[in-house]
Amino acid sequence: MERLCRENRLKVPKARSVEIQKEDPDNVDRLCERLQREISQMRRRLARNMQLYIVKKDAQKNRTEPNVAAIKGIMEDPELVSDTELSDYSDSEPPTDLSAN
């Protein structure tokens, strides 16, 4: 998952799971919970990136500008929004490379 995020130039969540392992190596439940949250964060970023990519490709195919309403809907979709505790950047702005040119 992390490799896919990096290949798509998406920031990955702060890897706090490593710190948990160092602080309390016996607390496997806490470590597993954190790893699940980090994986979920990466999944949401990949899903959102893919949807934005589809909007961009549709615009290129139709030789139009990307649909602003579609981009806004993707950016505000509660299933795709980042976990603020794990996020290392703001989700409020779409990627800058969405122009159809």
What are 7-32's pLDDT values in tens digits? Answer: 877 766 666 777 777 888 888 888 88
Place of tokens 């990307």: 66
pTM beyond 0.75: the answer is no
Give a yes or no: residue 98 inside a domain: no
What are 53-64's pLDDT values in tens digits? Answer: 888 888 889 888
Question: Which bin fits 63, alpha (ψ -120 to 50), beta or left (φ > 0)?
Answer: left
Predicted local confidence at residue 84, as pLDDT: 64
Give a yes or no: residue 99 inside a domain: no
Give a yes or no: residue 82 inside a domain: no
**How many domains does the structure of the chain reveal?**
1
Give a yes or no: residue 69 inside a domain: yes
Range of the domain at 13: 2-76
Give a yes or no: residue 85 inside a domain: no
∠42-34-79 over CA atoms, to 5°?
40
